[in-house]
Amino acid sequence: MSQIVIIGGGQAGGAAALALRRHGATGAITLIGREPLPPYERPALSKGLLLGETPFDRLVVLSEAVAAEQAITLRLGTTVTAIDRAAQTVTTDAGDVLPYGTLILATGGRARELPGLAPDGRDIFAIRTAADARGIRTRMTRSRSLLVIGGGWLGLEVAASARKMGLDVTLVEAGPRLCGRVLPPVVSAILADLHTRRGVDLRLGDAPVALASTGTGSVTARLASGADLAADMAVVAVGLTVEDDLARAAGLATADGILTDPAGRTEDPAIFAIGDVARTPHPALGMAARLESWQMANLQAEAAARAILNLPVPPAETPWFWSDQYDLNLQILGLPDMAAQPIRRGSPETGRGSLLWLDPAERLRAVIALNAPRDIA
């Protein structure tokens, strides 16, 4: 088998390399990662790693020792600058040209930036990498207050971690409610109540128009409402900008992500895309979507490895997401219908129960479970 090259040193890329070997790939496999670290999982960055409770080694998907055992070449701290589809080669920032028989794009994304709110890594931070999480933790240990920009999963988890460390936290969300894109209003309200009770100052329906470091160990923000905020430090957690630039420059079809079939194949039969960067059809959703989740990274890595080796690809699973905030474990199976009325099980409004959505044929379509993991099981 000709060489397989994987671009992307995150969870999806590492899982794909291991799946290829597990399913019998015998040719050369090279994984190229921009970070100097081996492939690792990201969910703990805003929780266990940020709190110092989870050592980095526990997040590693493909260690250098295992890579050596499996004859997988890791080229870390390396950026791919171009893909030549006709020659089937990739070029790195060091000027090296590597041939491939099959190419897997697992390039993920970078922390989204807002105009005028750029992180400086000193007082203002993004959170996407282990280095980001470590920098935030170090800064938190000498801070008393934190400003979080963004009321999605990542911002809420950072806020919860900071409160656990004893910091005063103000969270600003431009939308009228928390996690408005993925949660129905009743669950957004439960999260708002949870964070308010834990001491977070929520500023919903407002957005920063300016954010700056004072140069003296603090930050200031001006909101659209005209309010001025001050804190020792800030974390900007406003989502992800997908890294599909390489694919687009190589002429592959993209639409906020690289377009693939259910097995991760792009329009070029020699190139696959998996993980956060892939926009893939999901039968359970009835549409193509780019789903940023731990589960999808693993499933898409497995599907692509099987397809590359001409093995049967298992059917797509229902999307599953989770978040841990304080003592709340929230899990989502499927995508809830925001306009439909769910069935209530237990007492979800008090943080212990589930909401269930049915389709017109009265088949289960989605579940949101709050401290009710057995309902998901």
Do residues 328 and 158 make contact, with C-beta atoms less than 8 angstroms apart?
no
pLDDT of 43: 93
Q: State pLDDT tens for residues 261-310.
A: 999 999 999 999 999 999 999 887 778 999 899 999 999 999 999 999 99
Do residues 95 and 259 make contact, with C-beta atoms less than 8 angstroms apart?
no
Which ranges of the chain would DSSP assign to H, the alpha helix? 11-22, 48-51, 64-69, 130-140, 153-164, 185-197, 245-249, 294-308, 373-376
CA dist., res. 240 & res. 45, Å (int): 15
Tokens standing for residue 108: 């993920």
pTM for this one? Answer: 0.94
pLDDT of 350: 86
Neighbours of 55 (CB within 10 A): 11
Do residues 167 and 140 make contact, with C-beta atoms less than 8 angstroms apart?
yes
Do residues 90 and 5 make contact, with C-beta atoms less than 8 angstroms apart?
yes
pLDDT of 1: 58
Tokens standing for residue 159: 């806020």
CA dihedral (151, 121, 81, 297) positive or negative = negative
3-state helix, strand, coil split of the chain in percent (to 5) is 25, 30, 40
Low-confidence ranges of the chain (pLDDT < 50): none
